[in-house]
Amino acid sequence: MGKERLSEIKVFGQTFTVKSDAEESHIQEVARYVNGKMDEILKKTKSVSTLNVAILTALNIADDFLREKEKRNAILREVEMKSKDLAEKIDIKIGGKELDKVPITEQ
């Protein structure tokens, strides 16, 4: 990420100028992804309306995003749980070793 710049993309046959601080290659990849999703929708439905295809594509992309977000959150919860469990085990081990230590007494 850096300085904002203008990039020209083509989505569903229409040219758009996008202002973004993302790299040109990333912006083009996003456009290819959207075009691919729109092509999928176009093949699955009989709709010829650009608006309908765009809305169905947006809904599909949002669904993909939310499913991936939930997977990520589940993984983060699992990592957090395992981390806490591991920290507790380490604390128990450290605590047990401290109990085994011989106390130092002054003479």
Q: What is the pLDDT of residues 59-93, one digit of tens each?
A: 999 999 999 999 999 999 999 999 999 999 888 88
Taking the C-alpha atoms of 78, 84, 85 and 87 in order, what is their torsion angle to the nearest 10 degrees? Answer: 140
pLDDT, position 95: 78
pLDDT, position 26: 96
Residue 32 lies in a domain: yes
Range of the domain at 40: 5-100
Residue 67 lies in a domain: yes
User: What pTM was estimated for this model as a whole?
Assistant: 0.72
Query: Over 60: is that where the pLDDT of 36 sits?
Result: yes
Residue 106 lies in a domain: no
Residue 11 lies in a domain: yes
Residue 107 lies in a domain: no
Query: Over 70: is that where the pLDDT of 105 sits?
Result: no
Q: How confident is the model at residue 96 (pLDDT cuts 50, 70, 90)?
A: low
**How many domains does the structure of the chain reveal?**
1
Range list of H helices, the chain: 24-44, 50-100
Residue 105 lies in a domain: no
Residue 44 lies in a domain: yes
Distance, CA of 30 to chain centre: 14
